[in-house]
Amino acid sequence: MSLLQEMLDAKIISIIRGVASQDIVKAVEALQRGGVRFVEVTYRPGDDAACRDTLRSISALQEQFGGQMHIGAGTVLSVQQVEDAAQAGAEFIISPNTNTDVIRYTKQKGLISLPGAYTPTEAETAWEAGADIVKIFPAGNLGPSYFKAVKASLSQLRLSAVGGVSEANISDFLAAGVDSFGIGSNLVSADRVRRGAFDEIEKAAAFYTNAVR
């Protein structure tokens, strides 16, 4: 089975933001116990040290979970960040925007591309540039009916809902034809990691993975 098909079957990608590299393994262990298999480690805004910590996290997770979990990079805004993430072992690249240079370079590196879009025009532009799945962000502002309408006109697109997806509405997004989901602080938050609340992460992971089966 291809990595893309695995991602489409699993549907849930955990977005980990603001968790230091020394704490991230325990969080991902909890996700794994709960059934999540795809993890996005986001680039954090700031200086080079923050970027290096993101890359350390990707490398550490690949070393610990390679073959069991799939690790990607998020908030990728440049070709250089694609290159750095690929060197660290990222298997997929996720962006908040539609940058055709980033999309094309991601595909040149043999990685899965999930660029962000908001409008149908942006989504189609991303698709034509080679996106495997188009991330609609922020999904919560648009609602499930938006995805249903876009799918009706642009049925070739694979769409991921990111931002505002919760336990209360994921079934509605799924019914609207959403192909995958990026779940952030409702799964892994810096607060949960700080408190050592890994049981909460595991429980949330189990809920979301069961919700899409």
Q: Would you tell me how many other CB atoms lie within 10 Å of the CB of residue 15? A: 23
Catalytically annotated residue among 11, 91, 124, 135: 135
Residue 124 falls in the annotated catalytic set:
no
Catalytically annotated residue among 40, 91, 124, 202: 40
Identify the three-state secondary structure at position 165. coil
Closest among 14, 42, 72 to 209, alpha carbons compared: 14
Closest among 163, 94, 99 to 126, alpha carbons compared: 99
Burial, 110: exposed, middle or buried (Cβ in 10 Å; 0-12, 13-18, 19+)? Answer: exposed
Cβ(120)–Cβ(153) below 8 Å: yes
Residue 40 falls in the annotated catalytic set:
yes
Q: Would you tell me how many other CB atoms lie within 10 Å of the CB of residue 197? A: 15
CA distance 33 to 37: 10
Active site (catalytic) residues: 40, 135
